[in-house]
Amino acid sequence: MQTYSYNYKIPPSEADLNGFWRAAAIFKEMAQAGDQHASLLGLGREVMLGRDILWVLARVNLEMRSYPSIYDEITVNTWYAPPGKLTYERYFEFTGSGGEGLGAAVSVWALMNLKSRSIVRPKNSGVIFPEACQKPPAAAIPGKINFPDYSVTAETRTARYADIDPNRHVNNAKYVEWICDILHGEDFAERKITRVNINYINEVTPGQEVEIKTGGGDGKFYFKGIIGGDDKPAFEAEVNICKNLYSTGGNAGS
């Protein structure tokens, strides 16, 4: 099964205050889609745990043209590329009920040894993928982020219970939630995210503090999370926003 697709109806719990699909919810759904596809390929979480390795997310580039709203039904489609030297790429497309393109994404994954917490090269992992689909990605491959020289501290977060996933570190979607909390502010209703390019650099574990620095402007904002105590970077992100990105559905608030 080279590709995997399914229909999904946006629940109220995944909508923002205007009724549109939250960016963080999209990240969660991508993780769900990838996990379901990997399980069908015999490479799901339980199988990998049996080998003392885990899938960990390294980078994501999400590009959205428009957002569905509450109860809109969309189609999620995902497929994967052949393994690289260090990482694995997975691709996503989101389409509306009429077949219109809503957005697309590329995620880059690695395998981590459960005991040493070190990265395992694909050739040494024992993981064998079926032949990959030849369909190219519908979004750009996420790259390194050039954080600006000038930045200010926006806030400091402590990794708490609700932030932590079964891998015992802050879940990838939580960083997007933190970014959105800082980015939108009072004029959230007028702004929509068109692109999130995020690099996950070092894991954040329960109780650790993360100082979030931000810079940029004019529709492009940069974020960097610094782990308190050792000054290691947790994540870096580049986020594009605009004021005229409309939903395809009619259920969102005006």
The CA-based diameter of the chain, rounded to the nearest angstrom, is 53
Q: Contact, 91 vs 140, CB < 8 A?
A: no
Domain ranges across the chain: 3-242
- Residue 253's pLDDT is 40
pLDDT digits (tens, 9 = 90+) for 218-246: 789 999 999 998 889 999 999 998 875 54
Q: Cα-flanking dihedrals φ and ψ of residue 92, to 5°? A: -140, 150
pTM of the model: 0.91
Q: Which CATH class is domain 3-242?
A: alpha beta
Tokens found for residue 44: 């799901």
* Distances, alpha carbon 38 to alpha carbons 43, 75, 81, 146, 200, in Å: 5, 18, 13, 32, 21
Q: How many CB atoms lie within 10 A of CB 30?
A: 23
Considering only residues 122 and 171, tell me which one the structure prediction assigns the higher pLDDT: 171
**How large is the average pLDDT for residues 90-114?**
95
Q: How many CB atoms lie within 10 A of CB 117?
A: 11
